[in-house]
Amino acid sequence: SQELEQSPQSLIVQEGKNLTINCTSSKTLYGLYWYKQKYGEGLIFLMMLQKGGEEKSHEKITAKLDEKKQQSSLHITASQPSHAGIYLCGAVSANQAGTALIFGKGTTLSVSS
Amino acid sequence: EAQVTQNPRYLITVTGKKLTVTCSQNMNHEYMSWYRQDPGLGLRQIYYSMNVEVTDKGDVPEGYKVSRKEKRNFPLILESPSPNQTSLYFCASKLAGGREQYFGPGTRLTVT
């Protein structure tokens, strides 16, 4: 079965610093989602990447998909306290006609002011 | 407002007492799914439904039941809850051909 590994597991950065979170898949990625979750709350969709080499940005968050490496990275520029939370990558499962999502275990981001 | 709603948001119950967590979406989505989130294990799929009257097991279905009698509703049923079902539960939905999966706000369940 496919697995997603996120690194690092947790991250503490000073406000204004840049950071990168990685998501590596054990199998070829056919679609990679990034979600953000405030502790104990629902998931907020950030972006989805589908094509190798694809890059998308939303405000100060940029995500890239490298299909050859079966990896995606999420980069936050000039971090702010509002960026704090749990970042989850999700991949379209090969099962269920491509409708299921499997998730990494998440990266907890803390931003100190 | 397009949304997925779950009720209750918080529930404390005792072992063996049947309970139902409701999930409803107002976006006419065909696909609905239930996940549970546990520390160190991440999000894992319990059951999913491709459309009305079509349901199937996810990765961790043991101890759970679901039904899909209407397109908008997808309740999660715990016939005899046990402490290992203490978790944060999320319902999600999407269009059959859509990309984005919309998540509900979560239900925090504690079974004592």
The confidence score (pLDDT) of residue A69 equals 67
Q: Is the minimum CB–CB distance between A15 and chain B shorter than 8 Å?
A: no
Identify which has the larger pLDDT, B60 or A69. B60
Per residue of chain A (113 residues), what is the pLDDT tens digit? 778 999 999 999 999 999 999 999 988 877 889 999 987 788 999 999 988 889 999 889 999 998 786 899 999 999 999 999 999 999 876 655 556 678 999 999 999 98
CA distance B44 to chain A (A): 7
What's the distance, Cα to Cα, between the start and end of chain A in Å?
41
Contacts of A100 in chain B (CB under 8 A): 33, 45, 48, 58
- Residues of A within 8 A of B100 (CB-CB) are 33, 45, 48
pLDDT tens for B10-40 read 999 999 999 999 999 999 999 999 999 998 8
Burial environment of residue B112 by CB neighbours within 10 A (0 to 12, 13 to 18, 19 or more):
exposed
| Range among B35-44, B76-85, B98-107 rated most confident | B76-85
What was the pLDDT predicted at B88? 95
Q: How distant is the alpha carbon of residue B13 from its chain centre?
A: 17
pLDDT at residue A95 in the model? 59
Cα–Cα distance list, B33 to A34, A48, A111, B9, B59 (Å): 18, 19, 32, 17, 12
pLDDT of residue A98: 54
pLDDT at A23: 96
Q: Please give the Cα distance from A17 to B37 (Å, whole number).
A: 30
Phi first, then psi: what are they for B3, rounded to 5°? -165, 165
Q: Among partner residues B45, B100, B106, which is closest to A42 by beta-carbon distance? A: B106
Tally Cβ neighbours within 10 Å of residue B65: 14
Residue B81 has pLDDT above 80, yes or no: yes
Residues of B in Cβ contact (< 8 Å) with A48: 99-100
Q: Do B88 and A105 touch (CB under 8 A)?
A: no
How far apart (Å, rounded) are the C-alpha atoms in residues B13 and A20?
Answer: 41
For chain B, give the percent of residues with pLDDT over 70.
100
Nearest chain B alpha carbon to A42: B105
Paired with A11 in beta bridges are A109
First to last CA, chain B: 36
- Residue B12 has a pLDDT of 97
Sign of the dihedral defined by the CA atoms of residues A12, A34, B85, B12, in that order: positive
Q: Are A15 and A111 in contact (CB under 8 A)?
A: yes
